[in-house]
Amino acid sequence: MKISVLFGILIAAFSVHSQGTTSQEALSGTEEAALTSAPQVPPPIQRNHPTKVVVHLEVKEVVKTLSSGVQYMFWTFGGDVPGKFIRVREGDEVEFHLSNAPENLMPHNIDLHAVSGPGGGAASSFTAPGHTSQFSFKALNPGLFVYHCATAPVGMHIANGMYGLILVEPKEGMAKVDHEYYVMQGEFYTEGKYGDEGLQPFSMEKAIAEKPDYVVFNGSVGSLTDDRALTAKAGETIRLFLGNGGPNLISSFHVIGEIFDKVQTEGGSIAQENVQTTLIPSGGSSTVQFKVDVPGTYILVDHSIFRTFNKGSLGMLKVTGEENKEIYSGKQSDEIYHPEGGAIQSVEPPKKAAAPKVKLTTQQMMEKGQRTFSQICAACHQPQAQGLVGAFPPLAKSDFLMADKNRSILIVKNGLQKEITVNGVKYNGVMPKLNLDNVTIASVLTYVRNSFGNKGEPVTVDEVEDVLAHGK
């Protein structure tokens, strides 16, 4: 008798407890997710029940400023690096629509670390230019999660800026703060050195060596400095949602002049207190919270400090308000922390040059072809066109390439997806359709047919037009 009563109480206690820890709440309603660009964060979730959240995210390949005078072809989730911030609630069903803009060159997908399922959604979201894919997942675990592109070559897609954060708020909500901001670190690997001007192609070699030229917050040098700094007033509380896209480096995130009152290490649930520097793994996150007590400019850094002063990982938090001499009695000055590069002016992305009416000389086509090769083809076919065993066929001394000029024009125009044999080795991969214009196709083929040990006639624009008109 007594035992069964006790048992009943235990069962009751257990079922109450289990309701509190698993997502048994009923799903109701549908809403479109509010997405924001860094450093903004969507507003806290007011719902006390899970719902269906619809996310529309568009991948765009865009030329933007990496540093003053330096442009880069970024691959983005939503037009900027990092990608849009997504905020949902524990237990929500997320219906994800990934669109790949028609003018893009590459296929893309998304792996969200908040997904419980194969690839984090990667295979289900694989999307060619001009297409939209849809898949759904249940946000089972609360936390701050990274998402990124996972299309081959994965490292290159991440290095070009394809990462962002998704916050799954715990069902009990998060403590109120005065400001929430979104800051995500990432490295860029360029052909030129830090500061070399112009449009900089991605360097696969430096990426493999893990030697970036740029380490930045929010996609560019100076994204959070001067009039783009984060702001607050003395006495206010701040929460930073921090992410690290990598693709290689670990961040030692620190705010000069502040101590984090709370840190949810690696974006997890349990808060650690009174922390100076928090490690953010590549492909990981950290949520930090602190109160700013006195006015001044606080500097956000990766405390692997050469990155900060020589590669760009420097941001600012400008705090206004009343001095409090008891907490800090000193002359306020940010001089010694002033960024060496100075202010960044935003630059309009250069317009895509219209196909020139003038005929290029073979020499000019070789030069244009070389640029196209290093910006587009090298990522897969490798910098010396030597190919990658089991994945990408060589263009260097390729019997397949040199055997049929017309066929090579069609491949570069339309992509290729069938079994082929190059120099006696079989390949069966996917070369995406690259949306190149005829001058570019002629130039890049002229270049590859006369480089890397190949020797052949140039390919003219007339030949390309002719082959494409007749489809053979």
Binding residues for ligand HEC, rule: CB under 6 A, are: 372, 376-377, 379-381, 392-395, 398, 400-401, 408, 411-412, 416-418, 420, 422, 427-432, 434, 444, 448
User: Which one of the spans 83-91, 155-163, 251-259, 294-302 is the region binding Cu ion (CB under 5 A)?
Assistant: 155-163
Q: If contact means CB under 5 to 8 A according to the sort of partner, which of ligand HEC, Cu ion, none does residue 27 touch?
A: none
Residue 100 interacts with Cu ion (CB under 5 A): yes or no: no
64 binds, among Cu ion, ligand HEC, none (CB under 5 to 8 A by kind): none
Q: Using an 8 Å Cβ cutoff, are 88 and 169 in contact?
A: yes
- Report in angstroms how near the CB of residue 99 gets to Cu ion at its nearest: 13
* Binding piece for Cu ion, criterion CB under 5 A, among 93-101, 161-169, 347-355, 448-456: 161-169
Judge whether 204 and 245 are in contact, CB under 8 Å: no
- Options 84, 89, 108, 307; binder of Cu ion; rule CB under 5 A: 108
DSSP conformation class of 392: B
Question: Measured between alpha carbons, how far is residue 269 from residues 145, 284, 297, 467 in Å?
Answer: 12, 14, 30, 60
The binder of 151, among Cu ion, ligand HEC, none, by C-beta within 5 to 8 A per type, is Cu ion
Burial class (CB within 10 angstroms; exposed 0-12, middle 13-18, buried 19+) of 401: buried
Query: Would you say 182 or 392 has its CB closer to ligand HEC?
Result: 392
Identify whether the C-beta of residue 368 lies closer than 8 Å to the C-beta of residue 443.
yes
Rounded to whole angstroms, what are the CA distances from 157 to 63, 162, 178?
15, 6, 35
The answer for residues whose C-beta is within 8 angstroms of residue 50's C-beta and 6 or more apart is 23, 25, 26, 27, 28, 89, 90, 91, 92, 93, 171
Q: How far is the CB of 151 from Cu ion (least distance, A)?
A: 4
| Residue 148 touching Cu ion (CB under 5 A) | no
Q: Which does 183 bind (CB under 5 to 8 A by kind): Cu ion, ligand HEC, none?
A: none
Instruction: Answer yes or no: are the C-beta atoms of 332 and 296 closer than 8 Å.
Output: yes
The distance of closest approach from Cβ of residue 235 to ligand HEC in the complex, given in angstroms and rounded to an integer, is 52
Name which of 69, 62, 105, 72 is nearest 190 in CA terms.
72
Neighbours of 386 (CB within 10 A): 15
Between residues 44 and 415, which has the closer beta carbon with respect to Cu ion? Answer: 415
Q: Which is nearer to ligand HEC, 159 or 379 (CB)?
A: 379
Q: Which does 66 bind (CB under 5 to 8 A by kind): Cu ion, ligand HEC, none?
A: none
Stretch binding Cu ion (CB under 5 A), from 39-47, 100-108, 428-436, 439-447: 100-108
Distance between CA atoms of residues 452 and 444, nearest Å? 13
Nearest to 179 by CA among 230, 255, 105, 247: 230
| Cβ closest to ligand HEC, residue 329 vs residue 428 | 428
Residue whose CB is less far from ligand HEC, 319 or 385: 385
225 binds, among Cu ion, ligand HEC, none (CB under 5 to 8 A by kind): none
Token pair in block for residue 423? 């120099």
CB neighbours of residue 472 within 10 Å: 10
Is position 151 an interface residue for Cu ion (rule: CB under 5 A)? yes
Residue 157 near which of Cu ion, ligand HEC, none (CB within 5-8 Å, type-dependent)? Cu ion
316 binds, among Cu ion, ligand HEC, none (CB under 5 to 8 A by kind): none
How many angstroms separate the Cα of 196 from the Cα of each of 221, 299, 338, 368? 13, 25, 21, 20
Residue closer to ligand HEC (CB basis): 48 or 417: 417
- Identify the residue among 73, 94, 162, 378 touching Cu ion (CB under 5 A): 162
Q: Which is nearer to ligand HEC, 59 or 431 (CB)?
A: 431
* H/E element, 2: helix 2-21
Q: How far apart are CA 107 and CA 131, in angstroms?
A: 9
Tell me which of Cu ion, ligand HEC, none is bound by residue 263, counting a contact when its beta carbon lies within the kind-specific cut-off of 5 to 8 angstroms. none
Q: Which residues bind Cu ion (CB under 5 A)?
A: 108, 149, 151, 157, 162
